[in-house]
A and B are shown apart, each in its own frame.
Chain A
């Protein structure tokens, strides 16, 4: 059953259109992450789902019921805010039970629900405290407790981790994911952090300029980005994109980077049938940094020998776990992730192995994925 279904939803402020015909179907039990740069409309979309904002056009269904004119409290949702939005004058206990109090839930039942949630989130010792006496991570837990206690059809998370420091963010990220696995709730989670999206989501909706650019599971979004925006937004460092020319010989299509230059790079592509009509034309070639590695790397699952190119090295960034190298492929800048022990000299050249199986080709006009 679709927990949430959005049809042709748009939102205009005066003459500014922030959401342009959004269509989304979210299945029950899914962890959907809405990700995009700030100003892409993701928070507006979440607010409209919550009923805190009104859609200009379109239809929203929660659990099969049209909720366009249903007030937030009757939508069977719970929301966790970026600022946590705990009631400052109430204790943790009151914060969690306030919603039930408003819905006139019996006292005994309130106590039971509170005890369950407090145990689940391990916040029992905090119940008597005020929000001002809690740390950021504890406030975050209480905010989640307030949402969980309702046991709603839909959980809405609005950038809940962006106010936490980096270490705590990673911990809470895992905890939220674990929570989802344990209770199997349907979650819609808004973030601008593509790592949060990749690590937590079962499905990702990448948004940009009020449009859903791609809505798919994380692997698909990463492996087959629907367009150049998604390719450059997801992944860190992002996918290398560069102009290339598609040619063909007896062995099939060949992508040429820097065609005509002495250092042009020719990459033979296999199983790129969809690109047949682009032979002889300019395309945008995308290759992930991890598909460019040190010369003696054997890529997992590779059958033939990898493509080896010798390329000038411009900059070396050791990160500890790996070395990021800025190099030139046929004159075009590209980043490579190589073994941490290998440190090529900037200004010199080094040989790199390229995993051509995972190259993406984009149409330079429409910026859409070709193959």
Chain B
């Protein structure tokens, strides 16, 4: 009993010393990154309202930079591409991930190996993915060449250099990279479904398709929304993949907002406009993340009330 009392009464310094590693590990990096994030965001927002070009200068030009960016063909193409890429990529990676997860969920042999294979692209950096796919899709050295060499000389697959189709090569590479992520989340969701529910459906006489559509998949809603949000924010900020795969080309056919920012800031030395484009990207991101945060908030409230 006495030692319990003594530890409780001991001065708080030893407690501080004991918890010091925790504070150092958590708070220092957290504060540093928060400071970076917030201060540079504010800095960028400020720059976007100045006439800065090569170097940052003070001054106020109102929305001039924004008007210029929004009016530029470069940005318009980037925005259209983002819409197409974002929707196609998110939908297709959802479908691919879900299909892989359902197939893996059939208690097949070698599941661990397959799961690792499907998830592995996530471990590869976007630059590598972009570079590898740029070789694969290059008509001169990649798939088209392979098929030609196999003897089918009329085979045509030149999306990478085709203005209208080049954006789809980015979709393909992005799906290859990240549908494993969707699969992993969906598989976890499928595995967390109570097996008794599936047995109940079996006794109720539901076939496999009806069981999936009516009983199992509806429980995956929360996971689906998480996957969509994560993939969307990747799509919006996509840079390295596109830079390595098409670099916005051919011409500016696969331009995306992040490339526009890079182009304006570091190649055309128009800091103000680049910052304005970056702020526009931030707004698009918020348009996705804020509803998600609100949805999570409502979900949590409902959970605590139930």
Contact = CB atoms under 8 A, between A and B. Distances in A.
Chain A bound to chain B:
yes
Interface of A: 50-52, 71-74, 77-79, 81-90, 98-99, 102-103, 132-133, 146
A103 B205 contact: yes
A52 B202 contact: yes
Nearest to A99: B204
Most buried by B among A52, A86, A87, A89: A87
Q: Which 5 A-B pairs have the closest CB atoms?
A: A89-B218, A73-B205, A99-B204, A85-B196, A102-B205
Contact of B199 (A85, A86, A89, A102): A85
Given A52-B202, A72-B203, A132 B306 contact: yes
B147 interface: no
Contacts of B219: 88-89
B306 A102 contact: no
Contact of B204 (A88, A89, A98): A98
A90 B203 CA distance: 17
Contacts of A103: 205
Contact of B196 (A77, A83, A146): A83
Contacts of A52: 199, 202-203
A99 B205 contact: yes
Interface in B179-232: 194, 196-197, 199-207, 210, 214-215, 218-219, 221
Nearest to B196: A85
A52 B202 CA distance: 8
A122 B214 CA distance: 26
B220 to A, nearest CB: 10
Contacts of B215: 87, 89
Nearest to A77: B203
A98 B203 contact: no
Question: Which of A50, A52, A78 is the most central at the interface, judged by chain B CB atoms within 10 Å of its CB?
Answer: A52
B216 to A, nearest CB: 9
Given A98-B214, A132-B306, A85 B197 contact: yes
Contacts of B202: 52, 71-73
B253 to A, nearest CB: 43
Interface string B70-106: 0000000000000000000000000000000000000
Tell which of A99, A103, A133 has the most Cβ of chain B within 10 Å. Answer: A99
11 contacts: A50-B203, A52-B199, A77-B203, A79-B203, A81-B196, A83-B196, A85-B194, A85-B199, A89-B218, A98-B206, A146-B204
Contacts of B210: 102
Contact of B200 (A51, A71, A79, A133): A79
A73 B196 contact: no
